[in-house]
Structure 1
Amino acid sequence: MPKMKDTIVMFPSPEISHLISMVELGKLILHHHPQYSVTILLTTGLVDPTTMTPYINRISQANPSIVFHQLPFLPTPPDKSPLRSHLAILFESLRMYTPNVRNALQSISLSSTIQSFIIGIFCFSSFDVGSHFQIPTYFFYSSAVVSLAPILYFPILHSQTSQNFKDLTTTYLDIPGVPRIRGSHMGEAVVNRADPAYYEFLDLATHLPKSKGIISNTFESLEPIPIKATADGACIPHAPTPPVYCIGPLIADGEVTMKSGHECLSWLNAQPSRSVVFLCFGSRGVFSALQLKEIAHGLEKSGQRFLWVVKSPPPTEKEKTLGFSSLASKELELDSLLPEGFLNRTRDRGLVVKSWAPQAAILNRESVGGFVTHCGWSSVLEAICAGVPMLAWPLYAEQHINKAGLVEDMKLAMPMEQAENGFVSAIEVEKRVRALMESEDGKTLREQSRKMRENAQVALAKGGSSVEALRKLVESWNPN
């Protein structure tokens, strides 16, 4: 009887950014340990297939050792009532997938030896499935250790107050290894105790210590302070802390970049070195019409060259009643969204792009000297790998925590000062953009960003910290 193939089964959280970083982890494993194959479980119906399907097809063609296993549709849909948050619905959906995950592991084990089961943190309800089959089970955290630490420490934070974190606007939290942050800046899933997602995260925090380890998309020289705090057990003082394997930066390479010939790239090629500030805020980064005008005024007054990706504002209450239930319902008209004459007055030094641009390719252009970002971790890593300093404007999820780490510890970003409701004035945009591109502090950030780019390359080179962490990870599931 022929020896069964050793495989690693992965179950990513059902969002394209989580899938991409987990695929990159799989590719890194295969590059250094080609004796394995990788099987990735995919949910059905939880994400938009128009972006997911082309990506999966490209990966499958380029990487025959990566196999995608589509899980069946859920027999009954989750409760999607308007009172339930997006994350509460996501957690419920993933819990309903548990029998399908069990059946998939059972099926895969008939033809392959499953060496490990790696699950996204939102998929923690499937943790016990791996334990049931006695498969070493690990969590994959696609973000930074600075935002992992508050999750590990969350049961203690929960016990320290009965208030909603969203109401702690002037109260600062002391979390081991993390710069002090306001309670209201905890991740969106945990700021409201009335949201079922709050208790899902509490449950997640109790599952993390039970795993064989946690894989984080970072590298040692980027985050020495939170990495040491977690390794020392400071975030889980009442139980052993599992190993945290820092195996980053994991970012998509050129094969994932769509529309690589985008018009903005040729425009960038014609600009002077390090002269352009790039503004882009991720897939969910939408602003009100008022905020867009403030950004435009600030950019114009700053006198800097800029490339700005603009999305349609969310529909107003009136537009919702007229049937504009989604951003796609509205045609993006820049002339009406931006201040009158703005595009004409700035056409010699600025370019506004509708909806989407090839971010990684832009950041790697010689002309780009600064990046205004929402602090999503994939975007942060792309900037680090390109050596571009950042202006931090967090919007949602764990981004306020990422901002604190970037500004206070990593020294890779300046903060964009926001009102309590998140609003940023034109004066602030003008001041910060000019400081990033012209001031001595901006020059210092630029030099630190250049050094960190080199550190990222070293981490993934032979003998580097991330490659060594990967070696230890593989040894942990196959000690012989």
Structure 2
Amino acid sequence: MDTNSDSVQFVTLPRIEISFGTAPFGLFLSKCLKAHIPLVRDAVHELTCSNPVQLAGFVVDMFCTHMIDVADEFGVPSYLFFPPSAAFLGFLLHLRFLHDYEGLDINEFKDSDAELEVSSFANSVPGKAFSSLMIDKESGGAEMLHHHTRRFRHVKGILVNTVIELESHAIQSLSESTVPVVYPVGPILNTRKGSDRGQQDASAIMSWLDDQPPSSVVFQCFGSMGSFGADQIKEIAHALEHSGHRFLWSLRQPPPKGKVITSDYENIEQVLLEGFLHRTARIRKVIGWAPQIAVLAYSAIGGFVSHCGWNSLLKSIWYGVPVAT
């Protein structure tokens, strides 16, 4: 997005101090967003009073469904922006239906071999593949998702970050359901190579990639919430070393209790196999945070080992990099 465009105006809301306390992450997120309702209401009121342009509607994020109530107060329609895939939209709607009308407890799928038939997926969905946020009662994730998914039906349309050629089955299944009309508006990507994280880290990575042959490096990255235990890290390191291929590995440590975002290791050698960095020095670069867009755009990258987060998949498709899931 061009932030200098005359057609786009950004409004920064006043800061609110909210105590996390012992509230599960999912419930805290809902509490935080709900607390912003008066601020959004005031900001929209001020804009409509000082601007001759008529208010046409609200576009709200999938976790900001509290703002549908504000749109109703102003007498304008709401549209939902759904950043994940159309298939996942259908999955959430199906789970909400089973929970509300058939008494399904999603937690029953934890460590289960059971599979769920969902119309937006061509194949059944294994319970073991459900997000941990959904089947961890302590996180409050399932309750939060159910709450917001119920509100999806109160909007006039749903804008999904996808393209019909990529998800024709899912989009067709949604068009045959009773949900509001779905608009594929993707892929919406921020392809700017710059980063807020610090240009020094990115420069070192790019400098290493500059020295690698075209399509020779496997990029391994598992998202801002992706981390592994010590035994898994050692197994991955063993496999990478014995593959003999060049690799760029974004390795992050698990988040502290109560948090969801991973962080960099202070000493990465402590979690790797003894001598691994020395033995693989000619073919590897092990990093913490990764400038994913810039890396995938590089000609040296020949493959991407990914957790298959939707943004990661869209970026990889955009730059034509094969994915190993």
* Structure 1: distance between partners of 2:265 and 2:88: 36
Q: Which residue of 2 aligns with 1:127?
A: 68
1:173-322 map, 5 Å = 173-178=116-121, 179-192=123-136, 196-233=140-177, 240-254=178-192, 256-258=194-196, 259=199, 262-314=203-255
Aligned AA for 1:126? Answer: M
Secondary structure in 1 aligned to 2:49? coil
* Structure 2: distance between partners of 1:267 and 1:256: 17
Q: Is the 8 A contact 1:165 1:184 kept in 2?
A: no
Aligned AA for 2:80? Answer: F
* Structure 2: distance between partners of 1:341 and 1:192: 37
Secondary structure in 2 aligned to 1:69? coil
Q: Which residue of 2 aligns with 1:407?
A: none
Deviations 1:198-218 (A, max 9, x none): 333223222112211001111
Shift of 1:121: 0.8
Q: Which residue of 2 aligns with 1:65?
A: 7
Change (3 A) 1:109 1:165: farther
Shift of 1:157: 2.1
Q: Which residue of 1 aligns with 2:40?
A: 101
Change (3 A) 1:100 1:266: same
% of aligned pairs identical?
A: 32
**Runs (5+) with no aligned partner, structure 1:** 1-26, 28-58, 234-239, 318-325, 393-480
1:342 equivalenced with 2:276 (yes/no): yes
Deviations 1:242-300 (A, max 9, x none): 11111111111226445386222232233222221101122222222332222111100
Q: Which residue of 2 aligns with 1:391?
A: 324
Secondary structure in 1 aligned to 2:148? helix
TM-score by length of structure 1 reads 0.61
Change (3 A) 1:78 1:257: closer
* Structure 2: distance between partners of 1:370 and 1:376: 16
The alignment's C-alpha RMSD in Å is: 2.5
* Structure 1: distance between partners of 2:32 and 2:239: 42
Q: Is the 8 A contact 1:215 1:246 kept in 2?
A: yes
Deviations 1:81-133 (A, max 9, x none): 1xx32122101111122122211221111123222210101111111110111
**Aligned counterpart for 1:380 among listed residues 285, 304, 313:** 313
Q: Is the 8 A contact 2:26 2:144 kept in 1?
A: no
Shift of 1:175: 0.9
Q: Which residue of 2 aligns with 1:155?
A: 96
* Structure 1: distance between partners of 2:32 and 2:187: 29
* Structure 2: distance between partners of 1:356 and 1:132: 43
Aligned AA for 2:189? Answer: I
Change (3 A) 1:177 1:331: closer
Q: Which residue of 2 aligns with 1:171?
A: 114
Change (3 A) 1:144 1:296: same
* Structure 1: distance between partners of 2:307 and 2:228: 12
Deviations 1:441-468 (A, max 9, x none): xxxxxxxxxxxxxxxxxxxxxxxxxxxx
* Structure 2: distance between partners of 1:256 and 1:349: 26
Aligned residues: 315
Aligned AA for 1:379? Answer: S
**Aligned counterpart for 2:301 among listed residues 356, 368, 383:** 368
Change (3 A) 1:229 1:265: same
TM-score by length of structure 2 reads 0.88
Shift of 1:79: 5.2
* Structure 2: distance between partners of 1:185 and 1:95: 30
Change (3 A) 1:295 1:192: closer
Aligned AA for 1:341? Answer: G
Aligned AA for 2:159? Answer: I
